Structure 1
Amino acid sequence: MTDSAFFTETLSTRDPAIFDAIRGELGRQRDEIELIASENIVSRAVL
């Protein structure tokens, strides 16, 4: 591989495993919602 090929070769050609992992993660973020738990206790002033 020449230096110029490093910058022109696609990721799917260069490292298919990394390409598939990134594609899978992008799909997961697009198609699913990720909920993060937080405290459900409020102060007396709010009540």
Structure 2
Amino acid sequence: MKFWLDQFFGNSYGLSVTIGMLIMLGIGVWFIFFFMKKMKESEAEEKAKHQK
């Protein structure tokens, strides 16, 4: 495993792919968080409508 990691991080291609994957993961997490926030807001709006 250690050898594989050394080989992977040894070349710049592997490093750029890793950075790319981390960026994609970060965007994915942010997007899910943003979407969940929107869902909660719309749920709150629906509840407010029903209370009127």
TM bucket, shorter chain: 0.3 to 0.5
TM-score by length of 2: 0.39
Larger Rg: 1
Q: TM-score, with normalisation over the residues of structure 1?
A: 0.43
Q: 1 or 2 for the larger relative contact order (CA 8 Å, sep ≥6)?
A: 1
